[in-house]
């Protein structure tokens, strides 16, 4: 009886997750009328017209390239800063190291969204609105605490004897970081990179707050064009969601080994 209940619960849970995805996939091949009248049915005709219209939209093409640039730059900068800070925190076994770790952990408890108004005015005074620099800066600062939290836990598991042996050989802290810590942390770095890519790629709040120029909009912000005041073109919106999901799927397929290894690295010692 317990096994049957467990199977039913798992099937129900899987259906709850897959049903919205199936609606989006099928909706991308439908017309708006079909989406509104028969959202759960298969398309009458599996047409690629929505994809042709989407790919012919020059504004969306610009927004796609903007998202690629902002996301990749944000991820790279965050990984560099987070790995340096995490290595330093992991190597500091004194009270100061614990205090620093606590301060970054505190950043996880305070969402940046509660400071929307002051952040906007600060960025406006600094001339960072309608700027990729401003968008990248806010992406890095908001994702840095969680990145440090993940990477510092991994760096703490690296054998202290390896660090000490390198110090005896005369290696500087930066050389130890570059030659020992970074190569060993590839699984954790890969998992963190995927995590950061998904967050930055899907981000709508900060572009909505900081970007007004059409030529600098990111993909999630540009997708709002399919939502009018009185009507939403769900067929085109679903198609845009499908296209926007491709980079995340491709990145995961290429980095899935690092992602899985990074997730399991913190669970097993030795």
pLDDT in tens, the chain (270 residues): 667 788 888 888 888 888 888 888 998 898 888 888 888 888 888 888 889 988 887 788 899 999 999 999 999 999 999 999 888 888 776 666 677 777 777 777 777 778 888 999 999 999 999 999 999 999 999 999 889 888 888 888 777 777 777 777 777 878 888 888 888 888 888 889 989 999 999 999 999 999 988 889 999 998 888 887 778 888 899 999 998 998 888 887 877 676 666 555 554 444
The C-alpha atoms of residue 42 and residue 196 are separated, in whole angstroms, by 35
Taking the model in full, what pTM does it have? 0.84
The pair phi, psi for residue 227, each rounded to 5°, is: -115, 110
- Domains (range + CATH), the chain: 1-47 (no CATH), 58-265 (1.10.3720.10)
The C-alpha atoms of residue 153 and residue 176 are separated, in whole angstroms, by 17
Query: Which residues share a beta bridge with 232?
Result: 227
Query: What is the predicted pLDDT for the residue at 143?
Result: 92
Label each residue of the chain as H, E or C: CHHHHHHHHHHHHHHHHHHHHHHHHHHCCCCHHHHHHCCCCCCCCCCCHHHHHHHCCHHHHHHHHHHHHHHHHHHHHHHHHHHHHHHHHHHCCCHHHHHHHHHHHHHHHCCHHHHHHHHHHHHHHCCCCCCHHHHHHHHHHHHHHHHHHHHHHHHCCCCHHHHHHHHHCCCCHHHHHHHHHHHHCHHHHHHHHHHHHHHHHHCCHHHHHHCCCHHHCCHHHHHHHHECCCCECHHHHHHHHHHHHHHHHHHHHHHHHHHHHHHHHCCCCC
CA atoms in the 13 A half-sphere facing the CB of 29:
12
The C-alpha atoms of residue 186 and residue 115 are separated, in whole angstroms, by 34
Query: Which residues share a beta bridge with 227?
Result: 232
The C-alpha torsion from 116 through 218 and 221 to 113, rounded to 10°, is -20
């Amino acid at each position: 009886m317990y096994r049957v209940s467990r199977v039913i619960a798992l099937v129900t849970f899987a259906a709850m997750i897959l049903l919205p995805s199936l609606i989006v996939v099928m909706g991308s091949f439908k017309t708006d009328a079909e989406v509104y009248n028969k959202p759960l049915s298969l398309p009458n005709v599996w047409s690629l017209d929505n994809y042709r219209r989407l790919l012919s939209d020059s504004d969306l093409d610009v927004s796609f390239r903007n998202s690629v640039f902002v996301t990749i730059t944000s991820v790279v900068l965050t990984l560099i800063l987070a790995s340096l800070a995490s290595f330093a925190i992991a190597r500091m076994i004194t009270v100061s190291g614990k205090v620093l770790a606590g301060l970054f952990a505190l950043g996880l408890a305070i969402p940046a969204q509660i400071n929307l108004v002051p952040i906007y005015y600060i960025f406006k005074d600094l001339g960072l609105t309608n700027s990729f620099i401003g968008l990248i800066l806010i992406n890095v600062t908001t994702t840095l605490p969680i990145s440090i939290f993940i990477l510092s836990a991994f760096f703490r598991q690296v054998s202290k004897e390896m660090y000490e042996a390198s110090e005896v050989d005369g290696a500087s802290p930066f050389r130890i970081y570059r030659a020992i810590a970074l190569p060993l942390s590839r699984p954790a770095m890969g998992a963190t990179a995927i995590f950061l890519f998904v967050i930055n790629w899907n981000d709508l709040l900060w572009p909505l707050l900081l970007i007004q120029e059409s030529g600098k909009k990111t993909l999630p912000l540009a997708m709002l064009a399919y939502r009018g005041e009185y009507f939403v073109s769900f067929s085109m919106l679903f198609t845009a969601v499908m296209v926007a999901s491709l980079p995340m799927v491709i990145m995961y397929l290429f980095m899935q080994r690092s992602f899985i290894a990074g997730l399991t690295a913190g669970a097993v010692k030795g």
